[in-house]
Structure 1
Amino acid sequence: MSMDKAPLARVPMSGLVASAVEYMIDAGQRSVLFLDILRRRGDQYQQHIAQTAPHVLHYAAELVMDGRKLSEPVNYALVRIIPPEGIELDLERRPFIVVDPRAGHGPGIGGFKADSEIGVAMKAGHPCYFIGFLPEPMPHQTIERIARAEALFIEEVIRRHPDADGKPCVIGNCQAGWAVMMLASLRPELFGPIIVAGAPLAYWAGVHGKYPMRYSGGLLGGSWLTALTSDLGAGKFDGAWLVQNFENQNPSNTLWTKQYNVYSKVDTEADRYLEFERWWGGHVNLNAEEIQFIVDELFIGNNLAAGRIKTSDGKAVDLRNIKSPIVVFCSKGDNITPPQQALGWVLDLYADVDEIRAYGQTIVYTVHESVGHLGIFVSGGIAKKEHAEFSSNIDLIDVLPPGLYEATFEAKDADTANADLAVGQWVMRCEARTLDDIRGMGGNSSEDERRFATAKRVSEINLAAYKKFVQPWIKCMVTPQVAEWTRNIHPLRLQYEFFSSRNPLMTAVGTTAERIRNDRKPAAEENPFIALQEGISRQIVSALDGWRDYQEALSETIFLAVYGSPALQAAVGVDPRWEPSRQGMPAEHREMLQRRISELKSRIDEGGLREAAIRGLLYVGSARGMVDERSLEALRRIRRERGERLTLAQFKMLVREQFFMLLLDQRRALAAIPKILPDNANERRAAFAAIGEVLSASAEISGEVAKRLQHVAELFCLDASEMSERDKVTPFDPKAKAS
């Protein structure tokens, strides 16, 4: 093993000795201070788990509904976030509801600091609510029961905000993302825009050489091990095992980097480290029925996007039933929920963008280049950028015409046009995309799909065998007391217990650390031994990363070879010619669609100035292939100045109807504009000027946009250049018009 010795070689012997003494004093002090931080972490853990309802919310909260008191009790609760001093809420703005993941950790991470999903939503003026949970599930609690409880919670939020301009925006983080999507497919009328952050929805999806977590179910022989773990817990699944899975994905961080970062910066990193560890160590339990559903139906079965999940009353969970805009936030740096798993469901459900539109669906996605899984909903930088923009522009997302879009963010600077129309430090755009853009991220071949289908079938066989031959014996042997003991000795819990003040060996650490803080002697940054320490750390990280890469490559090779075996596939009944199939459009929806098309076509010649203006704006704006937040703000100001009384829901319906009319028969829809315009020339002139203002708010009007605007001017029976001069509006570039 080689390491960089240059820092030592450049220092004279006398200076080297002095540096060594300085470093040894510093390293000794840091070691004691680091042990003290671990002691404080252990004590914090003890205090946290002793609470009745432990959470890490940064904000005060008021209990609104307790799920334990429902007719079908669950361990979930709805709370209202009380805004801190200095934050003013607008009760006419739609409320936000943040649902935190129950994936091994406790609740509150969606609002555990000011720069969080809840924090930026309140800064944007939205009332905020939070759906959290207690550490222990209620008896007989299932995923379906939780969904019904959350529906009641959302109904209560809607009842509390009768004047809100729009249904609640619901944010589902990680595990909560797929749960929210399931509920929205069953109760679409409850939801405004939905934001799913780091949420897996297409569980088999991925690319070779990356994201090996999707192979785990197959490599373990299926979900029988999940059932065994639940049985060893006397009907409860210890969430610490889920946390262990997360940690196993990044051994260099788990075994070294996280602790070394605190040790090397022991004077400044304690508070940040302890704040995060309070959440990371707050393990919660799930009922056996809950975790078995999650593993069988979702992670191994991949049944969500396929529409194969049904409720107890036989109703299918079809994500195409969702009527609200869906925002998918994922990252290339997320090895838990990579972009393919976050977005692959779109390819499973729709043949093309026209089919997305046929369901009246709006899907907006954004892919971060590097942030990890937790950073998607924990990072302060992400909260101040992406989540802040989503909160500020949720109305823009809500009124987007149906289709597929990618949200992009451009930093505001001195050259940004009409910067006052964009909230915050970024300008958000929604740019039209096709399914090929998602396919371009990579995905499974037909051979890969057959491998996962084979793993699913093997899992079913192994689980059935376990339940018949082994489970009865395990249940007889495991008592609640034994289950509690096994939970307490889980390695993740023991690390907190061992370093807490309960350990007699740690009693002297606190007093010693206090004396050291009063006489701290840190080594200088240029000390060569500090550089040597950093070099050793990098080599440890490199070695652990290399081990991880080897393990991941080996796991993938084994999975592909075993489940790609034609003999195994034939043995478990997987046809070697089997191809994954997409759900077809149900006959009922096709009939409804035809009725809606006929209705819209029959109304193309109906309307007035408002319909003509929106139709003209959509026709011209579609040439850009994107919608900018500045345009919506310009439109909002125009509506406010002119006293428009349309609610957001009414405006959204107006936009959608005019959009579909253009989509169905653009020539006829445009030809009808002169027929529905009023005779009053001033009204026509004002409406056309508004179109120009909205379009010019986000970009210079030129090229095809200018040509279309000229066409609309003619349909409005106006001379565009004369209009611009008279009304002091420059809706397009005259040079572009001349060309």
Structure 2
Amino acid sequence: MVKPTTSQKLDPSTLDSAFSYSTDAWQRAILFLDTMRKRAGQYEEHAKQLAPNVLDYEAELICDGRTLARPVNYVLAGIVPPPGIVIDQRKRPFVVVDPRAGHGPGIGGFKADSEIGVALKAGHPCYFIGFLPDPVHGQTIEDIARAEAIFLEKVIERHPDAEGKPCVIGNCQAGWAVMILASLRPELFGPIIVAGTPLSYWAGVRGQFPMRYAGGLLGGSWLTALAGDLGAGIFDGASLVQNFESQNPANTLWSKQYNLYSKIDTEADRYLGFEKWWGGHVTLNAEEMQFIVDELFVGNKLAAGAIQTSDGTTIDLRNIASPIVVFCSKGDNITPPQQALDWILDLYDSVDDIRAYGQTIVYAVHETVGHLGIFVSSGVARKEHDEFASNIDLIDVLPPGLYEAVLEAKGEAVTNPDLVTGSWVMRCEARTLDDIRAMGGNDLEDERRFAAAARVSEINLALYRTVAQPIVQALVTTPMAAALRSLHPLRLSYEMFGAGNPWLSWVEGAAENVRENRQAIPADNPFLALQEKASEQIVESLENWRKEIEKMSEQSFHAIYGTSALQSALGVDVKSHRRPRQAAANLLHTRLLEARISELRALMTAGGLREGLARSLIYVGLARGSVDERGFEAIRRIRQAHPATRQTSLREFKKVIREQYYMLLIDEDAALAAIPALLPKQPDERRAAFAALREVLEAAGSLTDATSERLARIALFFQTPSEPVALGPSNPGNRIAS
């Protein structure tokens, strides 16, 4: 018999590591099963509630949509501020509209670091528009829009002293609904924030996030109609959630569960909190879902102004009068930046075109966060959403145009840090349409391919409705449809760990025993490293599979819909140089614009010091190409310090800023020449006014050469024959406070 050598003997420390790892792995498995049991229990409890949600705040019902003339399953709730939060009734209210995309409401306020949380912290009254699990029979997307208009009217009525109309936040699918309503009822809205919202559904970059090809590869929306018929007129939102999960198989099939298992001692509560929302599946009327797919996802008609309401009103996003903040991310595989922003290219030919419609569009692009992180990430809430809430009045008064919101850490090097409300300095930098085009997008050939896919969808839907739909509707009963929903794979993934499974009755007791005798292993255990390595290999394999499927999907779509013969047969003009879904010009708007220009020319010499200062400030600021929150805060403090300016409401201030900005665009020389006539005659008043102007301009730091040159030109207007205005360095310190 050969005895093992010393090198062949097992190291006792290795044996100890293996034993401790096996104990730890077994205990983690028990705790994992117990967490899945709790997940199933909260799923069942959530499903029993009449109005389930995951709001972390107490809410009071303001209006139940089921009581309206056209009833819907939507509700308006007021958020009760938690202890320690002081609400300023003069500040505009915030209204968060949650997405009805398969899961239940509440994600906009399910923790302190959330959209509702940061708005409350900034002192704004907050409201929430959510929905019940089941739709009212016969309700439509248009009915929901009418209900939300009533909700906003009630919010406005409750805040007569607020300085501005409500800021409305639309998350994901709620974003396009908010935009539709704002185009129909622009007078109800203050600034609009759309987070992770698809508005240009065909847009994207080749080789990335091919979800946009799905409609064409499946033959269009006939499958949506089939799903609605199999549900006896009800579309199961669990299918939408499953569609989201299919975009990231590595996370769905492995990473999400493995992350829980590997960090079971610290991850369970966070996991259960998210799953409570993610598993709160709701339903839609089949007609609602059909509208969404036909008009938006496949048809891509929203940005083109090709959707009409039941009374024939065209939905034109150019009618929106409020500033629009678009928040998107390069890491979002559901709504990439192109789908969030390319509607601007569909609607406008240039930034001047945006200005001609009086619109202000601000966009912010995150580098890495995923789709859900846009509106659930604590880091995003503390940074982007916090800055939007803190500077919503600044956004509201920005001159019309296109801007990018750039956030800079406050730090010690920031000039005038006392003018910054949070940990970040927000700067809105002027952009052009070329900046959006630089992110990538479709060329004309790509647009024709999607137009062809939309035509195929219309044909297949018509064939289904003619040939198969009557048969399916006759065969499917309401109990049968309910049974099919209960057997949905996502629902079963929850229920299989529930109390109805007798094979798991032992888990709760075993988990209690494990917690009493938990033997967690140190992070340097070598077998833990092997576990992590195995997990990485599984993720890599699933990622490679995803990439291959996506590559094949993209190639198939382009091969099928890229042939000129098919496009011509479907009625797509292969010779046109116009994008198939580009919005048409509005001749009436052109006539109204001409009349407005004439009116503004006549008003160039009208007004007083307020108008003269605003015109001067805009003229100098245009050279900088950006608007900094510190400058606006300086204006706010000056306004509060002087009784005369304190009487000017935010709405009046915005009107003055826009009028003076347009005057400079129309005829800069004439607008500047008229400034001296607007200024007071007294030297002391002119000197104080010029000092306030410099105060605001220097709030964000030293002036550039270009801004200094413009300021020198403006200084001539503030001079009097006896006492010229000095242009030397301003006094040190913060004069605003005094």
Q: Common fold, TM-score beyond 0.5?
A: yes
Aligned residues: 723
Q: Is 2:301 aligned against 1:303? A: yes
Q: Is 2:676 aligned against 1:678? A: no
CA distance in 2, matches of 1:610, 1:456: 53
Change (3 A) 1:44 1:730: closer
What does 1:38-57 align with in structure 2 at a 5 Å threshold?
A: 38-57=36-55
Deviations 1:538-578 (A, max 9, x none): 00000000000000000000000001122322332223224
CA distance in 1, matches of 2:380, 2:159: 28
The aligned amino acid for 2:680 is P
Deviation, 1:502, is 1.7
Matched residue of 2:63: which SS? strand
Deviations 1:588-614 (A, max 9, x none): 111111111001001111211111111
Q: Is the 8 A contact 2:624 2:704 kept in 1?
A: no
Deviation, 1:659, is 0.5
Counterpart of 2:217 (choices 216, 219, 240) is 219
Q: Is the 8 A contact 1:364 1:405 kept in 2?
A: yes
Give ranges in structure 2 of 5+ residues lacking alignment: 1-6
Q: Is 2:480 aligned against 1:508? A: no
Deviation, 1:584, is 3.8
CA distance in 2, matches of 1:178, 1:694: 37
The aligned amino acid for 2:712 is Q
Change (3 A) 1:703 1:14: same
Number of the residue aligned with 2:589: 589
Matched residue of 1:155: which SS? helix
Matched residue of 1:441: which SS? coil
CA distance in 1, matches of 2:303, 2:323: 17
Number of the residue aligned with 1:106: 104
What does 1:310-389 align with in structure 2 at a 5 Å threshold?
A: 310-389=308-387
Deviations 1:123-155 (A, max 9, x none): 000000000000000011100000000000000
CA distance in 1, matches of 2:618, 2:729: 24
Matched residue of 1:269: which SS? helix
Q: Is the 8 A contact 2:99 2:171 kept in 1?
A: yes
Matched residue of 1:404: which SS? strand
TM-score, structure 1 as length reference: 0.96
Counterpart of 2:726 (choices 701, 722, 727) is 722
Change (3 A) 1:57 1:726: closer
Matched residue of 2:399: which SS? coil
CA distance in 2, matches of 1:674, 1:603: 14
Counterpart of 1:116 (choices 114, 117, 140) is 114
Matched residue of 1:207: which SS? coil
Change (3 A) 1:729 1:375: closer
The aligned amino acid for 2:439 is M
Q: Is 2:139 aligned against 1:135? A: no
Deviation, 1:674, is 1.0
The aligned amino acid for 2:664 is L
Change (3 A) 1:529 1:165: same
Counterpart of 1:535 (choices 512, 518, 533) is 533
CA distance in 2, matches of 1:291, 1:10: 66
The aligned amino acid for 1:605 is T
Q: Is the 8 A contact 1:74 1:149 kept in 2?
A: yes
What does 1:61-460 align with in structure 2 at a 5 Å threshold?
A: 61-460=59-458
Give ranges in structure 1 of 5+ residues lacking alignment: 1-8, 732-739
CA distance in 2, matches of 1:77, 1:495: 30
Deviations 1:258-280 (A, max 9, x none): 00000001111000000000000
Deviation, 1:506, is 1.2
Q: Is the 8 A contact 1:693 1:729 kept in 2?
A: no
CA distance in 2, matches of 1:535, 1:139: 52
Matched residue of 2:365: which SS? strand
CA distance in 1, matches of 2:729, 2:365: 43
CA distance in 2, matches of 1:86, 1:454: 57
Deviations 1:164-216 (A, max 9, x none): 00000000000000000000000000000000000000000001001100000
Q: Is 2:692 aligned against 1:690? A: yes
- Displaced runs of 4+ in structure 1, greater than 6 A? 9-12, 725-731
CA distance in 1, matches of 2:560, 2:730: 75
Q: Is the 8 A contact 2:718 2:725 kept in 1?
A: no
Number of the residue aligned with 2:3: none
Deviation, 1:726, is 9.6
Number of the residue aligned with 1:651: 653
Matched residue of 1:267: which SS? helix
Q: Is the 8 A contact 2:416 2:734 kept in 1?
A: no
Number of the residue aligned with 1:667: 669
The aligned amino acid for 1:447 is E
CA distance in 2, matches of 1:426, 1:720: 39
Deviation, 1:469, is 0.6
Q: Is the 8 A contact 1:689 1:729 kept in 2?
A: no
CA distance in 2, matches of 1:56, 1:698: 40
Matched residue of 1:370: which SS? coil
Change (3 A) 1:709 1:11: farther
Change (3 A) 1:372 1:728: closer
Deviation, 1:10, is 14
Number of the residue aligned with 1:6: none
Number of the residue aligned with 1:734: none
CA distance in 2, matches of 1:262, 1:350: 47
Q: Is the 8 A contact 2:716 2:725 kept in 1?
A: no
Deviations 1:58-94 (A, max 9, x none): 0000000000000100000000000000000000000
The aligned amino acid for 2:625 is G
CA distance in 2, matches of 1:236, 1:341: 28
The aligned amino acid for 2:515 is R
Farther-moved stretch of structure 1 (702-711 vs 284-293): 702-711
Deviations 1:349-408 (A, max 9, x none): 000000100000000000000000000000000000000000000000000000000000
Number of the residue aligned with 1:636: 636
Counterpart of 1:711 (choices 705, 710, 713) is 713
Number of the residue aligned with 1:3: none
CA distance in 1, matches of 2:731, 2:374: 47
Q: Is the 8 A contact 2:60 2:77 kept in 1?
A: yes
CA distance in 1, matches of 2:703, 2:525: 59
CA distance in 2, matches of 1:109, 1:675: 54
Matched residue of 1:360: which SS? coil
The aligned amino acid for 1:115 is D
Q: Is the 8 A contact 1:692 1:730 kept in 2?
A: no
CA distance in 2, matches of 1:518, 1:730: 60
Q: Is the 8 A contact 1:724 1:730 kept in 2?
A: no
The aligned amino acid for 2:426 is M
CA distance in 2, matches of 1:479, 1:238: 15
Deviation, 1:304, is 0.2
CA distance in 1, matches of 2:388, 2:711: 30
The aligned amino acid for 1:692 is R
CA distance in 1, matches of 2:73, 2:541: 43
CA distance in 2, matches of 1:324, 1:634: 23
TM-score, structure 2 as length reference: 0.96
Change (3 A) 1:651 1:514: same
Q: Is the 8 A contact 1:685 1:723 kept in 2?
A: no
CA distance in 1, matches of 2:155, 2:34: 44
Deviations 1:477-522 (A, max 9, x none): 1111000000000000001000112210111000000000000001
Q: Is the 8 A contact 1:613 1:691 kept in 2?
A: yes
Change (3 A) 1:607 1:10: farther
Deviation, 1:717, is 1.1
Deviation, 1:43, is 0.6
Number of the residue aligned with 1:546: 544
CA distance in 2, matches of 1:720, 1:506: 88
Change (3 A) 1:665 1:19: same
C-alpha RMSD over aligned residues:
1.5
